[in-house]
Amino acid sequence: MCLNDFHLISVLGQGSFGKVVLSQLKDTGEYFAIKALKKRDIIDRKEIESVFAEKQILEVFSSVQHPFLINSFSSFQTKDTVCFVLEYAPGGDLMTHILEGAFDEHQAMFYAACVLLGLQYLHDNDIIYRDIQLENVMLDAHGYAKIADFGLSKENIRYDDFTDTFCGTSEFMAPEVLKEDSYTRAVDWWGFGVLIFQMLVGDSPFSGNNDDEIFTSIINDEVCYPTFLSLEAISIIHKLLQKNPDQRLGSSKRGAKDIKVHKFFRDMRWDELLQKKIKPPFRPNLISHRDVRNFDTEFTYQNPNLNLMKDRCRITPTEQSLFKDFSYMADCC
C-alpha cells in the first residue's frame, strides 16, 4: 500500500507525533484510520526502536484480528512520514462519551470486560501495554470497546519480568512507576482500576492541579469512594489500586483470570463476549461510514492532507535507510 491508494477524508486526532486520518481505500471502498508519524520527530527523539516495536506488536494480535484491540492491516511510508493503516472505530473514545456523564455500572462493566480481554491477550503474548486511559479505549460501530495506541507497549515482558521505563499518562501511572522502581505487568492492572473508577465516577481517584500533585496523591493518598458505588465496584477498584504491586489483583501468575472471577463481573459470560455475542449497552449513533461526530471538531475541521503536516524537514538518505523495513501487509488483506 501507499498513500495514493487512499482518499483522505477527515482528521480524527492530532498531537506532536503527527495525526490520525479517516481514509477510504480507493480499490474496495473500505474505511481505515491512518496513523501518520513524522520521521523527523522519530529520529530526533531517538524513537526508531519504539516505532518498530509498535509495528511488531500490532502484527502479533492483528494476525488473529482480536475483537477488542485496534488491529493493523498495513504499514507504509512516505518521504516524511511512517503510516499505520488501522481499523477504524467510528464510535470515538470513552473520554468523548463520558463528558456527557459517568456510565452506569452495567455499561462500565461491559467496557471494562472488553478491555480486560484485550489486556489478557497482550499479557498472554508477553506484551505490557502501559497506557490505559479513557482516550485509548475506542468504540466500534456496534458499541464494543477496543484498546488503541500501542506506542508505549513493550514485548518480551513475561509474568515475572521487570522493566523500568518511566512512561504513561499521569492520572493512570502506578506508584512503582512514579517511584522509578523496576515494575512488572501489574502496572496495567493499576491503570485498569483507575479506568473503572473514572467510568463509574466521571473523575479521577487521585487529584491535583499539576502532575507533581497528582503523583504525590497516587503515592500517598487512599481512594475515597462515592456512596453511590456498589460494594462490588468498590471491592474491585480497591483490589486493583493496591499500592504494593505484589498485593494487586491480577498480579499473580493467573493474571486476568483472577480478575474475571471477581463479583463485579458476576453476570459476564466471557466466552460469549469474546465471540461478540453479547449486545453492547450503547450503540453509537452514526448516519454513514464517514460520520465523524464522535471525534473532536478541533480536529475534524482540519485539512486531512498529510503533506500539510507542520515542521517538515529534510530527511537524509542515511536517515531514510533507518525505515527500510517498515512496510508490512497483513495476511487478511
Q: 296: alpha, beta or left, given left = phi > 0 and alpha = psi -120 to 50?
A: beta
* HSE of 308, CA atoms in CB hemisphere, 13 A: 8
**CA distance linking residue 101 with residue 111, whole number of Å:** 15
**CA distance linking residue 39 with residue 37, whole number of Å:** 6
Handedness of CA 16, 22, 27, 30 (dihedral sign): positive
Residues written for the chain: 333
CA–CA distances in Å: residue 71 to residues 55, 56, 149, 213, 324: 11, 12, 10, 36, 22
DSSP assignments along 153-220, one per residue: -BSS--TT--B----S-GGG--HHHHTT--B-THHHHHHHHHHHHHHHHSS-SS--SSHHHHHHHHHH
DSSP assignments along 261-323, one per residue: TSGGGTT--HHHHHTT-SPPS-----SSTT--TTS-HHHHTS---GGG-S------HHHHGGG
Catalytic residues: 131
Which residues pair with residue 139 across a beta bridge?
145
**CA distance linking residue 39 with residue 196, whole number of Å:** 36
Whether 310 has a binding-site annotation, put simply, is no
Q: Residues annotated in the binding site, as ranges?
A: 35
Q: Which residues are annotated as a binding site for ATP?
A: 35
